[in-house]
Structure 1
Amino acid sequence: MANDFKEFTVRSVRRLTDDANHNAFTGTVWFQDALYVTHRQGDRHIDQQGRVIVLRSRDEGVTFDKVAVLRGEFDTRDPHLYTDGNRLYVSAIEDSPDWEFYSGVAWSDDGLHWTGWNRVEGADDYVMWRPQVFDGRFYCAGFRFHGIIETPGKPNFETEKTDVAWFESADGLHWEKQGIIHEGEDLPNESYFDFYPDGSIAMIMRRGLESRKPLLLRSVPPYENWDKVELDVALHGPALWLVGEDIWISGRWYLSPHVTHVAIFKIVDNTPRLQLVLPSGYGGEIAYMGVARHPLNKRRFHLSYYSCHMSPADPAVCQWDHPDIYLVDISFTAEYLSEWEVSDLIVDGTHQNTTVEQATGWRPLQAYGEEMVHQTFFPYGFVEATPIIDKRDGVIFFRKDVEVGPIDAGLLHLGYDGNVIVRLNGETVHEASGTNPAHSDEVTIPVAFRHGTNHLEIAMETNGGNACGIFARYEAT
């Protein structure tokens, strides 16, 4: 993909909390067809009242219900959600008043019934930060402080050196340290990583430098050697995720020492390129993003984060000391089906009572590509049929032969702004209503493919003449 046009669509940004608590430090994951979000709830940024909240959504992040409140002996903070496919885990840190740290975990087999809090084994003195599972094995980049220096009157401590170590586990509870990833006076600490399909890793690592510049690291199994490069951006509380082969990062972006926003960057040639600034800011109570890849769409993500940019409903609650949790639904640009045949409008027809045999006047129509999007307000991948529709009511047909090769099953990702019936090889696979404007990847349909050529046909009502066109792409499963 070129980097001179928008490579994403923000579907929504939702506020999940609005109360008198300090809500912060988030994680999110999909499990058993539901979306889960976790965060710390406390009275202040640092206090011994901290507990972990787990929320569940069964409508793709629109509404949530609370399914767990978890706590260890001390302030329990920085929660993270992850799954091995069979069990849902929430990890977090206990932070004692004398700056002793204990990593722990709880789990659930159904997302509703949870174990108690369990401190992990094999990671003494390490903060086990955002574990992940790949191919049935558990991995984590934990960090450790080498001596703690307390200054009277300051809420936080200082340290002269830290290290980040690589841990592996068979169950997420009993860990084995494999080796040091990075250590030194640059104070490496919080790390967020993602796996490529072949098991190789991309990781972002926060550092305590005055410049606030993180490291980008890469490694391959057995994760003994790590390539490192400093990123030229001031970023704390970092997150990282992979979209295809591309690396995306986010965090608390420092425009100045006192002005921040939650920003999203794409890594291009080891350089962070700003793509999006989320509603956020302006101080230090923002970021700590969680990342959840949609189970049916590898290019659609839910991103949780916290921010203090909106005031609580209660005017007696201070906005800047009581941040809230937010959730972004975002899709990243993909390669769409581009070359179509489109029929003339069948006036006064409906998508249900009109057949493709009635369609005439077929002509070629191409989806907007990288060069064409600069000449229109329609986005990349959109198949625009407004000149054919011409504000008239009726039905229009789109058809295309799709070469899929030797695959048996896949997913159709569609967007449309009129009522549609979708047929694949003559069989109806989807029927739904649509409203203007169309959004890419609005729906995902599991389908059975034939080896080789498959015929895709979409009948679309023009929504009183207001419809404009479609998005369509597929992927193998």
Structure 2
Amino acid sequence: MTAELTNAPKVPATKIWDYAAHNAFLDLAWYHGRWFCAFREGSTHLSGDGRTRVLVSDDGLLWKSSALLEVGPRFKGFENQCDVSLSETPDGRLFLKVVTWDPRWPKPQSVMARNAAWFTRDGAVWDGPREIGDPNFSLWKIKWRQGVAYSVAHDCAAELNARVPVRLYTSNDGLHWRVLLDPLCNYGPAILTNESTLEFLGDGAAVCLTRCHYVGQELPGRNAWECPAVLGTARAPYTVWQWRKTDWAVGGPKLLALADGTLLLASRRWLSADWSDQRLDLCRVNLQSARFEPVVTFVSGGDSCYAGMVEHAGKLAIAYYSSHEGKAGIYFTQLALPLLSAQPANR
């Protein structure tokens, strides 16, 4: 399921950071009047030396480094950081989560990954790292609703054995997590499920989009990375979900519900079946049809995507990584929302 050609306009973005050899896997937040963008710095996409860089900006134009976070001896053997999430806690702190990997990955180990968290009130002094969640279960993006945090996690060790049912976790403080639903989505014995983006609509309904992979050995002739994603919806207390197959394979997906009811998806799309070219598309999500309508394509290519999105001051701010200009760097832009908002998510 490589991306089909669309008439969606191409939107440029400004490179804001490329000082490491590889800069990727980010999130974006508007916190206390400033932009925060946090991401992994490493040697390559899969290198075992990832650290977390935090940038800040007052206006989205001039960015400066605020912190370079390392997990230290508390996470000895799990120093490789990836998959950053930024969110604001109910008590007003900025909460940064990363997944810490055993640098020997993908060589099988009994524990492959752990989750680490930091908290800050000013972006300069960070409290952490603190271990959160369960070993091996990689918490992905974290969303808060009515003082409660939610995150979907997949079993990193089981992924090597081609069995990755995702779980739904919840927390009241960001530190102590419990399993709310296991499995959240179990696509079938020939399907791997992992990266999952969670969002809440204005009426409290939850939406989850989960990336899926075919197990190549069991479905010969299919590209193992072309499996359509699945889209789920639920009402509180979020223990009963309805799932539908979409018509897109996604990578690094990010959902965002706008104030006017529009549900947006930013995701990697593949332009070739061998991973040699990719792009970042922004789409409207139709929950009734489980289909995505492309709105814009961001100038991007090669190893790319994994966006963070924020609605602020009548604009959509988006940050992502891309290597279309050479090595993987971090890009940022803002779009006027009237150009994007056509209709609410149908449900």
TM-score relative to the length of structure 2:
0.82
Q: Does residue 217 in structure 1 map to residue 262 in structure 2?
A: no
CA offset at residue 20 of structure 1?
4.6
Q: Does residue 109 in structure 1 map to residue 111 in structure 2?
A: no
CA offset at residue 42 of structure 1?
0.8
- Deviations 1:415-468 (Å, cap 9, x if unpaired)? xxxxxxxxxxxxxxxxxxxxxxxxxxxxxxxxxxxxxxxxxxxxxxxxxxxxxx
Matches within 5 A, 1:73-472: 73=75, 74-84=79-89, 86-99=92-105, 100-121=112-133, 123-145=134-156, 147=158, 158-179=160-181, 180-183=183-186, 184-185=188-189, 186-209=191-214, 210=224, 211-243=226-258, 244-257=260-273, 258-268=276-286, 269-281=289-301, 283=302, 285-294=303-312, 296-297=313-314, 300-310=315-325, 319=326, 322-333=327-338
The AA in structure 2 aligned to 1:64 is: W
Aligned residues: 305
For residues 28 and 162 of structure 2, the distance between their equivalents in structure 1, rounded to whole angstroms, comes to: 33
- Note closer, same or farther for the CA distance 1:261–1:135 as it changes in structure 2 (3 Å cut): same
Contact 1:29–1:293 (CA under 8 A) maintained in structure 2: no
The AA in structure 2 aligned to 1:245 is: G
- Note closer, same or farther for the CA distance 1:27–1:42 as it changes in structure 2 (3 Å cut): same
Percent identity for Structure 1 against Structure 2: 24
Paired position in structure 2 for 1:18: 18
For residues 229 and 331 of structure 1, the distance between their equivalents in structure 2, rounded to whole angstroms, comes to: 31
- Deviations 1:335-392 (Å, cap 9, x if unpaired)? 99xxxxxxxxxxxxxxxxxxxxxxxxxxxxxxxxx9xxxxxxxxxxxxxxxxxxxxxx
For residues 199 and 206 of structure 1, the distance between their equivalents in structure 2, rounded to whole angstroms, comes to: 23
For residues 263 and 8 of structure 1, the distance between their equivalents in structure 2, rounded to whole angstroms, comes to: 10
- Note closer, same or farther for the CA distance 1:84–1:147 as it changes in structure 2 (3 Å cut): closer
For residues 98 and 34 of structure 2, the distance between their equivalents in structure 1, rounded to whole angstroms, comes to: 21
The AA in structure 2 aligned to 1:161 is: R
Contact 2:295–2:340 (CA under 8 A) maintained in structure 1: no
- Note closer, same or farther for the CA distance 1:270–1:64 as it changes in structure 2 (3 Å cut): same
- Note closer, same or farther for the CA distance 1:227–1:35 as it changes in structure 2 (3 Å cut): same
For residues 35 and 326 of structure 1, the distance between their equivalents in structure 2, rounded to whole angstroms, comes to: 13
CA offset at residue 53 of structure 1?
0.7
- Deviations 1:310-340 (Å, cap 9, x if unpaired)? 1xxxxxxxx2xx300011212222799xxxx
SS at match of 1:333: helix
Paired position in structure 1 for 2:43: 43
5+ long unaligned stretches in structure 1:
1-5, 149-157, 311-318, 337-369, 371-477
For residues 114 and 158 of structure 2, the distance between their equivalents in structure 1, rounded to whole angstroms, comes to: 16
For residues 147 and 335 of structure 1, the distance between their equivalents in structure 2, rounded to whole angstroms, comes to: 39
Paired position in structure 2 for 1:431: none
- Deviations 1:35-68 (Å, cap 9, x if unpaired)? 1101100111122321001111111x11112111
- Deviations 1:41-96 (Å, cap 9, x if unpaired)? 0111122321001111111x111121111122310111111112500011011010
For residues 31 and 206 of structure 2, the distance between their equivalents in structure 1, rounded to whole angstroms, comes to: 22
Contact 1:9–1:330 (CA under 8 A) maintained in structure 2: no
Over aligned residues, Cα RMSD in angstroms?
2.3
For residues 334 and 21 of structure 1, the distance between their equivalents in structure 2, rounded to whole angstroms, comes to: 35
- Note closer, same or farther for the CA distance 1:251–1:335 as it changes in structure 2 (3 Å cut): closer
For residues 17 and 199 of structure 1, the distance between their equivalents in structure 2, rounded to whole angstroms, comes to: 36
For residues 7 and 47 of structure 1, the distance between their equivalents in structure 2, rounded to whole angstroms, comes to: 34
For residues 179 and 97 of structure 2, the distance between their equivalents in structure 1, rounded to whole angstroms, comes to: 17
For residues 150 and 264 of structure 2, the distance between their equivalents in structure 1, rounded to whole angstroms, comes to: 20
Larger Rg over CA atoms: 1
For residues 198 and 62 of structure 1, the distance between their equivalents in structure 2, rounded to whole angstroms, comes to: 35
For residues 218 and 8 of structure 1, the distance between their equivalents in structure 2, rounded to whole angstroms, comes to: 30
- Deviations 1:264-299 (Å, cap 9, x if unpaired)? 121233211222111111x3x1011111221x44xx
The AA in structure 1 aligned to 2:207 is: A
5+ long unaligned stretches in structure 2:
1-6, 106-111, 215-223, 343-347
For residues 208 and 335 of structure 2, the distance between their equivalents in structure 1, rounded to whole angstroms, comes to: 21
Contact 2:211–2:249 (CA under 8 A) maintained in structure 1: no
- Note closer, same or farther for the CA distance 1:301–1:9 as it changes in structure 2 (3 Å cut): farther
